[in-house]
Amino acid sequence: MKQKYLEYEKTFLSPYAQKSYESKGRLIKIAECPMRTEFQRDRDRIIHSKAFRRLKHKTQVFISPSSDHFRTRLTHTLEVTQIARTISRCLSLNEDLTEAIALGHDLGHTPFGHIGERVLDDITKHFRHNEQSLRVVELLEDDGRGLNLTWEVRDGIARHSGPELPRTLEGMVVRISDRIAYLNHDVDDAIAAGLIKESDISQDIEEVLGKGKGVKINTIVKDIIKNSLGKNEIIMSEVCSEAMQKLRMFMFDRVYGAQSAKIEEQRAERLIRSLFNFYKENDLEVPSVYKKNSNDPQIYITDYIAQMSDNYAIRMFEKYFIPQKWDQGIDNI
């Protein structure tokens, strides 16, 4: 079974694709699997991790939405993965590597989306969710043992955002697919939330990208494939790139920085700051598993809070700061 995939990689993948049999390997060497390539094993390890399951209750843009129709960090991850796999398949890149990176790229994201990231960055003076994602797979998952992923997957996860670019084309595909996904599905969610209307998007953007989420994604993906085919880089046309940037600026102006979202963001910020300060004063409340890899309270408290889902963080806040009912032993009057 595994040999079939290895032969496929040798025969059909682009000369610029990362072959699994040429991987730089893992931090800890393990016996080979007779059925799966190394990148397929990484994909499976990520899917079965606790951090991956927690993504279903982590904010994408809208904090703790009551409607099931809004994206969460998990559905965002799945949309990124779908877009990235399509691009990789059409460019004859390693789809297994692309999938593993995409599934793991946001494992270190905080509760309450980017507001959580900003708060932890302000408290610790350095917090980036891409770096935390790498920390999750290298140290925190599996009760402090990490997932022991291949170098290529860890590189793609760590560099999916930030100034440093991934060192494989598959990682570059995930990096650009992340932007394609969040821009377009955040527009979709913002329309559903009543923050904007489709008609608010300027005509010059829609003349290039088209109208509607699916059409825009399809246009961008086709542009990337057309401009990257047979090349050792992942690029899009200048006109498409400019339209995407205009759409991004529109979203920051009308949605990400919208006044209507500020109240909930302020509440989320107070919650995270309160929890952080509480754990500094009550160290025994931090589970011991987070203390395995550091003796610094600031680091292991950050690790603990960053892994929380929105729901869990709210429960902890209620546990420590909200008065509980006390009616045991009191007769009804």
The 10s digit of each residue's pLDDT in 159-196 is 999 999 999 999 999 999 999 999 999 999 899 888 89
Regarding the domain delimited by 37-314, which CATH topology (the fold level of the hierarchy) does it fall under? Hypothetical protein af1432 (1.10.3210)
Region of 284 (left: φ > 0; alpha: ψ -120 to 50; beta: rest) is: alpha
The answer on pLDDT for 114 being more than 70 is: yes
Task: Identify the pLDDT of residue 329.
Answer: 53
Q: Which of 141-145, 243-247, 329-333 has the lowest mean pLDDT?
A: 329-333
pTM over 0.85: yes
Q: What is the pLDDT of residue 61?
A: 78
Do residues 98 and 37 make contact, with C-beta atoms less than 8 angstroms apart? no
Residue type, 275: L
Pull the structure tokens for residue 101. Answer: 């990176």
> How far is the C-alpha of 240 from the C-alpha of 121, rounded, in Å?
33
Token duo for residue 75: 């559905």
Structure tokens that stand for 156 in this block = 């793609």
Residue 75 has pLDDT above 60, yes or no: yes
Q: At 26, phi and psi to the nearest 5?
A: -110, 165
pLDDT at 283: 96
Find where tokens 């989320």 sit. 268
pLDDT (0 to 100) of residue 64: 58
pLDDT of residue 186: 92
> What pLDDT, on a 0 to 100 scale, did the predictor assign at position 257?
73
Q: For residues 110 and 44, what is the distance between their CA atoms, to the nearest angstrom? A: 23
In contact, 26 and 148? CB cutoff 8 Å: yes
pLDDT of amino acid 59: 87
Q: Please check the confidence at residue 259 and state whether its pLDDT lies above 70.
A: no
